[in-house]
Amino acid sequence: MESINWNYWLDLKSVKEWQASALSLGINPKRIIRKLNRYSEPAKFEYVGDESIGVEKLQEFLNRLDIIQNNKYVEKFYLGLDEVYLEGFVKWAITKKSFQNYFPKELQAYWAQELVDKLNNKLTQPKVTQGGMMKPEGWKPLAEKYARDILQSNRKISLNKISIQIAEKIKSQGILSVQGEPIKASTISRHLSDWGFNRERINADKK
């Protein structure tokens, strides 16, 4: 199955509704064929996925597409015709129960950075409100982003030290775990290890 070129898709300002639905499930839009059924009344598009997608995932794709089309006129991600603003779509979808059973970490990072920016703008004192609590699917991609940024300037830093730095950075931004406590460096370290910290450090050396 051809992997998704996230750098390409996340640089786009807008995408087709069906492409947004596919990306929200981690499906490469190139794996779905859209064709117009001129014999239906009224004429409508039909979607066929290749064998790598499977029947259940294709049905989930259709369900999400239906939800997107049903909400686009009342939400702020509608662009016109059959396109949506990608940024607006991500911010909307991440809050919906029907999208929370699976949402790619690449799109979660898109949302997480937006939340961090808002927190940076709103926090006026160290005290953190309920809005600063973040689920693992929110802070994990953020920790990965910070790890990559740090590795660009210090490729020899240890996993323990980088985890401590990231924990302090996240804490300074008012982000807490869902238990309302600061996210521990040891917790971040375990995640970065599973994420592939050593691989990322090697990749940073090659750049």
Tens digit of each residue's pLDDT (9 = 90 or more) over 54-88: 899 999 999 999 999 888 777 677 766 788 888 88
Which tokens sit at 196? Answer: 């592939």
pLDDT at residue 57, as a whole number: 92
pLDDT at residue 32, as a whole number: 93
Intervals of the chain under pLDDT 70? 1-2, 40-43, 75, 79-80, 110-132, 204-207
**72-77 long-range contacts, CB within 8 A, separation 24+:** 72/17
The residues near 32 (Cβ < 8 Å, ≥ 6 apart) are: 18, 22, 47, 48, 49, 50, 53, 58, 61
**Overall residue count recorded for the chain in this entry:** 207
Q: What is the pTM of this model?
A: 0.55
